[in-house]
Amino acid sequence: MHKKKKKQHKKYRNLVESTHDQIWSIDINGQLTFVNKAITEILGYEVCEIINKPITFLVHPDDKKKIIELFFLSIDKKCGWKNVVNRWIHKDGSLRFIESSATPIIDSNGVLIGFNGVDRDITDRKKMESEALQAKKLESMGVLSGGIAHHFNNILSIILGNSELALEEIPKFSHLYYYVNNIKTASLKASAIIKQLISFCQKNDPIMKPNKASLMIDESIKLLRTIIPGTIEIRYYCKTTKDVILADPQQINQLIMNICVNATPFMEADGGLIEITIDNLLVNKIYSNSYTEFKSGNYVQISVRDTGSGIDPDIIGKIFDPFFSTKEIGKGFGLGLSIVYGIVKEHNGIIKADSKPGEGTIFKIFFPEYKGESKIEIDEQEKQNEKESSLKGKENILFIDDLEDITLFTKDLLEHLGYQVKSTTDPREAINIFINKPDMFDLVISDMDMPHMTGITLFEKMRQIRNDIPFILCTGYSELINEETAKKLGISDFVMKPIVIHKFAKIIRNVLDN
């Protein structure tokens, strides 16, 4: 009989030791009398290091009070507890989330002598929940930003449009010209910030085109300065003119934002520095043999250095892993470095991180240098061509926008450029005007979001009346359409508000001339 019990005891002992959950027993004083080997895997301690110690020894200081209250309540009621989540401290100092359940141990006399319990490490689950919550927040932020952008860009259109018209009438030597020009400049800056926010929150397929890294990062820094604490200084150095890469500006923006925002919590209180540098790197055969990720050739190198607390050497190899974070769960921005890694790889680039605790961190990103003709170079040539030709015209234009203020100033703007303009705030009226004289108009310009019908519906109805009518669509922001989808529908061109006279005049001229 004794052998049978011994065999049975060994069987259950093996079962307890084979599980990945932490199984334990405590006495009535809360001291650990038994714990299985899973403690080492979950919290890093050997069994002998914690046996006979109070169970609160492992609990995060902020959660100890809750555990003690639960313990005494369970003693008072002679009951256990189920699925109670607390933060525990790993031997290396990191935080673990533990889900604990326990049952009372009652002796033959009915006296409570302790508790048996099972703990499960749910840290990874908590991280995934946190990431999902942050992703939801970002999605909501994108929707909110879109709504704000639509209304704010309409307001900016009125401010910017009227200030530009006023500047045409005010002599440059007048002090009023200086004031109005400041209004125009501030409006353009506000428009740039809204544009960057939309770009940051939208999730679109990357559009790879030749772009100058310096110009893309310059745009990122403008937005970055508006969202990071004033205690953190940003310095930017561009040490090369050969910085054209094949890239999606929206994703490069997100890359820079993620790295910089990820560093800010570690510098916010005492201040710090973020330093962004662009340079070139020539990789020859010797270099590429030493670093197998590199192929021989020219690279554009973007370095982002911060003066934060640095990264421990033991974990620096994990920082690009999905869901890995050195921040406490529930805190931070949810903008993981894994996203940065994905963007770099999507651009055929390489990223390296170097850090020392207490001395900050530096990220170096290498993109293959683009050797073809860049979009920037083409744009410079177009600007030169513009100087040699007039952007004015005499054609007949039908303009539609549901906001009367925008309709009035845009009509004035177009007439200032020499065009004959018929305008309305109602798309239904616009159709009636067009039906009566379809051959009178050389161009239709319409807002996207209007009562009664969208700009797309208006375009389709007008094309049914006259299938060759040029059509320009304007919007402050819309999830229904962008430049690419507008072109696919046959719309001549797509304009994001606020409307800038010179750019708008150029688009109109291009549509009419083509």
**48-57 pLDDT tens trace:** 888 888 888 8
Reported CATH class of domain 387-513: alpha beta
pLDDT, tens digit, for every residue of 315-343? 777 777 655 555 554 444 434 677 788 88
Give Cβ neighbours of residue 68 (< 8 Å, ≥ 6 apart). 56
Place of tokens 């200030």: 163
User: How far is it, in rounded angstroms, from Cα 23 to Cα 29?
Assistant: 18
Helix (H, G, I), strand (E, B) or coil at 310: coil
User: How far is it, in rounded angstroms, from Cα 514 to Cα 506?
Assistant: 12
Distances, alpha carbon 490 to alpha carbons 264, 430, 439, in Å: 45, 19, 19
How much is the pLDDT for 141? 61
Average pLDDT over residues 210-225: 88
Place of tokens 């946190």: 130
Helix (H, G, I), strand (E, B) or coil at 395: coil
* 75: its two tokens: 């003693």
Average pLDDT over residues 446-462: 93
Q: Output DSSP code: residue 328.
A: P
Reported CATH class of domain 211-373: alpha beta
Amino acid at 392: K
Do 53 and 82 meet the contact criterion of CB atoms below 8 Å apart?
no
What superfamily in CATH does domain 15-121 come from?
PAS domain (3.30.450.20)
Share of the chain above pLDDT 90, in %: 31
Q: Output DSSP code: residue 295.
A: P
Q: Where are the beta strands (DSSP E) in 93-215?
A: 95-106, 112-121, 209-212
Q: Phi-psi region for residue 30, left (φ > 0), alpha (ψ -120 to 50) or beta? A: left
Share of the chain above pLDDT 70, in %: 82
Q: Do domains 211-373 and 387-513 have the same CATH topology?
A: no
How much is the pLDDT for 377? 46
pLDDT, tens digit, for every residue of 196-217? 666 655 555 677 889 999 999 9
pLDDT at 363 over 50: yes
pLDDT at 355 over 50: yes
pLDDT at 12 over 70: no
* 441: its two tokens: 């108009």
- Residue 484 banded pLDDT, cuts 50, 70, 90: confident
User: How far is it, in rounded angstroms, from Cα 449 to Cα 457?
Assistant: 10
**By C-alpha distance, which of 334, 336, 345, 472 is closest to 414?**
472
Average pLDDT over residues 298-326: 78
The crossing angle, in degrees rounded to 10, of helices 175-201 and 123-169 is 150
User: How far is it, in rounded angstroms, from Cα 366 to Cα 291?
Assistant: 13
65-71 long-range contacts (CB < 8 A, ≥24 apart) are: 71/30
pLDDT at 43 over 90: no
Q: Indicate the domain borders of the chain.
A: 15-121, 211-373, 387-513
Helix (H, G, I), strand (E, B) or coil at 469: coil
Adjacency order of strands within the sheet including 95-106: 32-35, 22-27, 112-121, 95-106, 81-89
**By C-alpha distance, which of 452, 504, 502, 455 is closest to 475?**
455
Average pLDDT over residues 220-226: 82
How much is the pLDDT for 387? 46
- pTM here? 0.52
pLDDT, tens digit, for every residue of 235-267? 999 999 899 999 988 889 888 988 888 888 878
Q: Output DSSP code: residue 391.
A: -
388 against 446, higher pLDDT? 446
Query: Which of 140-144, 294-298, 338-342 shows the lowest mean pLDDT across its residues?
Result: 140-144
